[in-house]
């Protein structure tokens, strides 16, 4: 028998004031009332939970929607996504599936025929670690297929650019151009730029690329929001990658959509570190906004990536003596950045891949611990891909959220073993972090990886790839149970944004954000996660997607 509860002072019995969703199997993630059959919604909030019969009687004027016995649960939040870039990537050259350098070049050749003179050919997703050539691409690979058009191709992790000679010329990058701090212009034996740029050197190209206009950004965001709804995602933590696209231009578009009442996804968006001083001077701080669009933390980069071998390491990459990666900031600079951010009212979200980067970030957080507590701040590390065993307990002790992306682990396992060797035992260490008391928030890093939450859940509980079910799990001791993984996409993501009192669970007074799916995730075999379908997505009590 289901217990019935309702919000005191709610619109009980007032006709036309809300909806009752009946005939479901709601997993509320509320320990006091873990499952109910129906939920009543008014003004975007949950006002009652209980049996279908009880809620029909208590809310006689409410419209009814029957879920037909479907399993329902809180809507997912993607805790790390580049939403505008993901939307725009749906219209660009996709190289993620290219399994060789010639295949990637052929995709560029085909796309070049559709680009008008004067425009840039844009694409993303290449990964030299998957290519049998096992080398970085060069401008000489691109020049024959695009001799007149500038070509800009972001790597899968977004930390490298592969460009042709036209793009280098437009950017003024020549043999004598110095490497910027925290970046590298890759050069051949003669010292000439090869067409690959790493980390902050990418800015030399981005500064000459025509900016996306507001209309293009809005189109990209709309496309991305529709995709999120189909995947059961009701909220995102939007991360700045390319400031010219995902910084102020995207924020202005989000604001316009919100003002028009057209933002049907809850957005918590980061501030690029380069905009910190201006944001503080303007009076912004983490938490500013409303329930649809809120200012989040300042986004800071501590290092590069595993795939590019630019992650900041305590010891060199396997087989690469002397290469300990690229630290974007010194330890002292990181400490000062965190201090200034906290002093200005901002939480911090710091990208850290390598064990040296993670250690330095934790050191920076510890140096501002008292000020952070006074602020009520909740810092987070984005990715936490490799952490030294000595540093693993520090996240919990410092109340730092581990913002991680499960699919990264299964996609990266070969290159992790290749470049980190036995150190991979504490790579993507979800179970160890959770056991130590660390809050987990899961996301996708799309468009780097798929935003499909069910693919993420499968990776989290199996440590396997979808196409290789018979392969032994990669470090299976770090796998999660399904309920733990689901919470990382719901309650954990809400906690990371300071919204655990209104999001992530299905309780009275909480935002009416939930999904209905075609099977019970908590009872299904792991393999069934991959074929799970979202049947309905509800945001603020409004059905935004129905299959």
Write down the pLDDT at residue 242: 61
* pTM metric for this prediction: 0.84
Cβ 171 vs Cβ 193: under 8 Å: no
Taken in order 538, 539, 542, 546, the sign of the CA dihedral is: negative
Q: Give, in words, the CATH class of 91-206.
A: alpha beta
Q: Is the pLDDT of residue 2 over 80?
A: no
Q: pLDDT by residue (tens digit) across 27-73?
A: 999 999 999 999 999 999 999 999 999 999 999 999 999 999 999 99
pLDDT, position 10: 34
- Domain chopping of the chain, boundaries: 5-69+533-546, 78-82+212-504, 91-206
pLDDT value at 318 more than 70:
yes
Torsion of CA 307, 308, 313, 318, to 10 degrees: 70
Region 103-109: mean pLDDT is 94
What's the pLDDT at 6?
38
Three-state SS annotation for 279-342: HHHHCCCCCCECCCEEEEEEEEECECCCCCCCCCCCCCCCCCCCCCCCECCCHHHHHHHHHHHH
Give the orientation angle of helix 248-259 with respect to helix 214-230, to 10 degrees. Answer: 70
pLDDT, the chain, mean: 93
Please tell me the distance from the alpha carbon of residue 303 to that of residue 350, in angstroms, as a whole number: 9
pLDDT-derived band at 213 (thresholds 50, 70, 90) equals: confident
Task: State pLDDT tens for residues 146-165.
Answer: 999 999 999 988 889 999 99
Q: What band does 1 get if pLDDT is binned at 50, 70 and 90?
A: very low
Mean pLDDT of 92-96: 86
Q: Which CATH code for domain 78-82+212-504?
A: 3.20.20.140
Q: What is the mean pLDDT of residues 473-501?
A: 98
Instruction: Give the pLDDT mean for 245-273.
Output: 92
Query: Does the pLDDT of residue 241 top 80, yes or no?
Result: no
Give the Cβ contact number of residue 208 at 10 Å: 15
Which residue spans within 51-200 are E strands per DSSP?
63-66, 71-74, 76-81, 93-94, 121-126, 151-155, 160-163, 183-187, 193-199
- pLDDT > 70: what percent of the chain? 96
Cα(249)–Cα(6) distance, integer angstroms: 42
Mean pLDDT, rounded, for 486-510: 98
Which of the four CATH numbers 1.10.287.1770, 1.10.10.200, 2.30.40.10, 3.40.50.150 does domain 5-69+533-546 have?
2.30.40.10
pLDDT at 4 over 80: no
């Amino acid at each position: 028998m289901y217990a019935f509860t309702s919000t005191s002072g709610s619109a009980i019995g007032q006709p036309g004031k809300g909806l009752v969703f009946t005939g479901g199997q709601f997993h509320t993630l509320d320990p006091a009332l873990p499952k109910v059959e129906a939920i009543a919604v008014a003004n975007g909030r949950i006002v009652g939970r209980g049996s279908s019969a009880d809620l029909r009687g208590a809310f006689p004027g409410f419209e009814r929607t029957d879920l037909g016995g479907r399993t329902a649960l809180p809507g997912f939040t993607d805790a790390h996504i580049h939403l505008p870039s993901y939307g725009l990537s749906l219209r660009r050259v996709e190289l993620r599936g290219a399994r060789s350098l010639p295949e990637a070049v052929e995709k560029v050749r085909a796309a070049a025929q559709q680009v008008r003179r004067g425009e840039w050919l844009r694409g993303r997703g290449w990964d030299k670690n998957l290519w049998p050539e096992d080398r970085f691409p060069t401008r000489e690979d691109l020049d024959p297929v695009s001799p007149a058009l500038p070509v800009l191709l972001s790597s899968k992790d977004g930390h490298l650019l592969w460009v042709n000679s036209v793009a280098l010329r437009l950017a003024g990058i020549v043999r004598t151009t110095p490497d910027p701090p925290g970046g590298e212009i890759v050069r051949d034996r003669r010292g000439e730029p090869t067409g690959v740029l790493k980390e902050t050197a990418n800015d030399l190209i981005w500064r000459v690329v025509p900016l996306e206009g507001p209309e293009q950004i809005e189109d990209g965001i709309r496309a991305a929001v529709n995709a999120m709804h189909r995947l059961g995602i009701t909220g995102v933590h939007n991360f700045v990658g390319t400031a010219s696209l995902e910084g102020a231009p995207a924020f202005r578009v989000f604001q316009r959509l919100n003002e028009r009442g057209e933002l049907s996804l809850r957005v918590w968006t980061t501030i690029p570190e380069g905009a910190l001083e201006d944001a503080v001077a303007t009076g912004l701080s983490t938490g500013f906004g409303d329930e649809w669009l809120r200012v989040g933390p300042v986004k800071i980069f501590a290092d590069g990536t595993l795939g590019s071998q630019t992650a900041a390491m305590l010891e060199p990459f396997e087989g690469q003596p002397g290469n300990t990666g690229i630290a974007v900031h010194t330890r002292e600079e990181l400490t000062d950045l965190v201090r200034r951010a906290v002093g200005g009212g901002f939480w911090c979200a710091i990208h850290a891949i390598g064990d040296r980067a993670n250690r330095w970030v934790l050191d920076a957080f510890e140096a501002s611990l008292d000020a952070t507590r006074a602020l009520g701040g909740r810092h987070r590390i984005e990715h936490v891909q490799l952490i030294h065993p000595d540093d693993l307990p520090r996240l919990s002790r410092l109340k730092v959220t581990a913002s991680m992306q499960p699919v990264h682990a299964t996609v990266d396992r070969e290159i992790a073993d290749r470049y980190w060797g036995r150190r991979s035992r504490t790579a993507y260490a979800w179970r160890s972090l959770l056991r130590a008391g660390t809050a987990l928030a899961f996301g996708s890093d799309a468009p780097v990886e798929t935003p499909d939450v069910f693919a993420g859940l499968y990776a989290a509980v199996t440590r396997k790839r979808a196409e290789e079910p018979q392969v032994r799990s990669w470090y299976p001791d770090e796998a999660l149970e399904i309920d733990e993984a689901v919470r990382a996409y719901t309650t954990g993501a809400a906690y990371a944004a300071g919204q655990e009192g209104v999001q992530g669970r299905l309780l009275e007074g909480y935002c009416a954000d939930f999904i209905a799916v075609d099977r019970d995730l908590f009872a299904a075999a792991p393999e069934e996660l991959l074929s799970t379908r979202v049947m309905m997505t509800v945001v603020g009590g409004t059905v935004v997607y129905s299959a």
